[in-house]
Amino acid sequence: MSRSQLKIKEPAREIDVVRETDVLVVGSGPAGLAAAIGAARAGAEVSIVERFGCFGGNITVVGVEGMAWYRHEKTIEANGLGREMEERAKAMGAAAPESQSLSYELDSEGFKVVADRMVEEAGVHPMLHRMFVAPIMDNDTIVGIVTESKAGREAILAKRIIDATGDADVAARAGAPFFMTPKEKMMAASVMFHLAGVNKKKFMDGVRADLQTYKDWGSGGGGDWNIETSGKEDEMFSPFIKKPFQKAIKEGLLPANLNTIAGTWGAMHDTGELTYMNLIHMEKCDGTNPDDLTKFEIEGRRQTMLAIEALRRYMPGCETARLRNFGMTIGIRDTRKIDAAYNMTETDVREQGKFEDSIGIYPEFIDGYGILILPTTGRYFQIPFRSMMPKKVKNLLVAGRSTGGDRVSHAAIRNMSCCAVAGQGAGVAAALSLKTKTDFDRLDISAVQNELTRQGVRIH
């Protein structure tokens, strides 16, 4: 009998309700953190559920330390909690100047403490080590979730729920319609890593001797490195590394099919640590399929060790480099996106889309599906509240990269700082909908905008 034909029947059981709360946030990446803190600052009682043992999501668990690497002199941003996270990390010694922008690279380990502090200060109830497994529904209204942990199954009831899982897990299991890019067209998945033992002077001398630009991203690479820019980025410095891997392929150290190994580094530290190594890009990984995740976690580590050997041989300063650590889990860029009350479009993110229900702005930064546009001219678009409202499920908002939109809009709104803008908007909306006893589709958006403005968010 094949695996697909085997089934068991799970017996009915009672599940303890361990908490009741006003607003429940599921997932604690940039969107979830901003949602929980934003809702709490707007006066709601908030709980946040996270499957790992720390808050921060892609920052702390995957090791994506560049939250605003797009920032340049003329970049216009929403600020709000996304910028506050960066400033708090800087103040707490958990950030360093980022190599290609006016932003700071967040230390993935130190940011765990930053996130702890911000959650505690906001009065948000933390619920780590719990994985969402099922929604609790009252017809078409979500009223809670079931989690799984070392303690078994637990139920949490809530008046409003925000899905910040990144994969629309709550929305999908609650019956909300969603879109999903075919696996062969999904953005690549990445295993992040950090190096130690790098000679900073030799490395930086090597970088300066052969300065790379964003135009180099599209010069003969494989996979996701077939990049087109808008032109204005072409002569700007990029901390891009590809030539050592091309040489490794030519000399037989790397197989030819691994021409996808290339990418950027985040910061070169005085300690000899070279951090935020975004070099491993693997296609056809479905982040909602555990077998794919297993396969590509292992493959990503294999490719990393090959990449490190190539750097030792062909990158100045890396002769004695060694692996410091991997991210705790693989980084996924592309899975489910809800069919929202409004789905954002390529035109919205390319042509400065404006919306009456804007909950924040985001600079014209598009990174994905073969497009790279940096926000160097002051252009930006607005994020509509409706893009977080799933169809067919009440009392639920979706924040982060799984909000509604087409492929090119996803290449903009998937980025962590944009996820924080959406999350803060969702949190404030959830809090005010409770205060006014109003469903999301009837919410006074001007009241939400006023509270977001009070919290330091630029709306228009």
pLDDT category of residue 202 using cuts at 50, 70 and 90:
very high
Nearest to 82 by CA among 365, 280, 339: 365
Task: Render pLDDT for 171-192 as a digit per residue (tens, 0 to 9).
Answer: 999 999 999 999 999 999 999 9
* CA 294 vs CA 4, 57, 60, 290, 297: distances in Å: 19, 19, 20, 6, 5
pLDDT category of residue 224 using cuts at 50, 70 and 90:
low
pLDDT category of residue 219 using cuts at 50, 70 and 90:
low
Whether the pLDDT of residue 142 is over 70: the answer is: yes
Task: Render pLDDT for 59-110 as a digit per residue (tens, 0 to 9).
Answer: 999 999 999 999 999 999 999 999 999 999 999 999 999 999 999 999 999 9
pLDDT at 230: 84
Task: Render pLDDT for 19-67 as a digit per residue (tens, 0 to 9).
Answer: 999 999 999 999 999 999 999 999 999 999 999 999 999 999 999 999 9
pLDDT category of residue 402 using cuts at 50, 70 and 90:
very high
Pairwise CA distance, residues 199 & 348, whole Å: 45
Segment 312-328 mean pLDDT = 98
Segment 368-386 mean pLDDT = 96
pTM score above 0.75? yes
- In sequence order, what E strands does 369-425 have? 371-373, 380-384, 396-398
User: In the predicted model, what is the mean pLDDT of the chain?
Assistant: 96
Nearest to 288 by CA among 382, 370, 186: 186
pLDDT category of residue 225 using cuts at 50, 70 and 90:
low
Task: Render pLDDT for 255-272 as a digit per residue (tens, 0 to 9).
Answer: 999 999 999 999 999 999
Whether the pLDDT of residue 379 is over 50: the answer is: yes
pLDDT at 227: 79
Segment 436-452 mean pLDDT = 98
Pairwise CA distance, residues 347 & 367, whole Å: 15
Segment 326-355 mean pLDDT = 98
Whether the pLDDT of residue 5 is over 90: the answer is: no
* CA 244 vs CA 120, 226, 235, 269: distances in Å: 45, 18, 21, 21
Give the gyration radius of the chain's Cα atoms. Answer: 22
pLDDT at 45: 99
Domains of the chain: 16-181+335-455 (3.50.50.60), 189-326 (no CATH)
pLDDT category of residue 1 using cuts at 50, 70 and 90:
very low
Residue with tokens 């490794």: 248
- In sequence order, what E strands does 117-163 have? 125-127, 131-138, 141-149, 152-163
pLDDT at 229: 83
Task: Render pLDDT for 415-431 as a digit per residue (tens, 0 to 9).
Answer: 999 999 999 999 999 99
Residue with tokens 């009915």: 12
How do strand 274-277 and strand 193-196 relate by DSSP bridges?
antiparallel
Length of the chain as a residue count = 460
Pairwise CA distance, residues 316 & 204, whole Å: 8
Handedness of CA 419, 293, 369, 267 (dihedral sign): positive
Pairwise CA distance, residues 389 & 382, whole Å: 16
pLDDT category of residue 437 using cuts at 50, 70 and 90:
very high
Whether the pLDDT of residue 277 is over 80: the answer is: yes
pLDDT category of residue 3 using cuts at 50, 70 and 90:
low
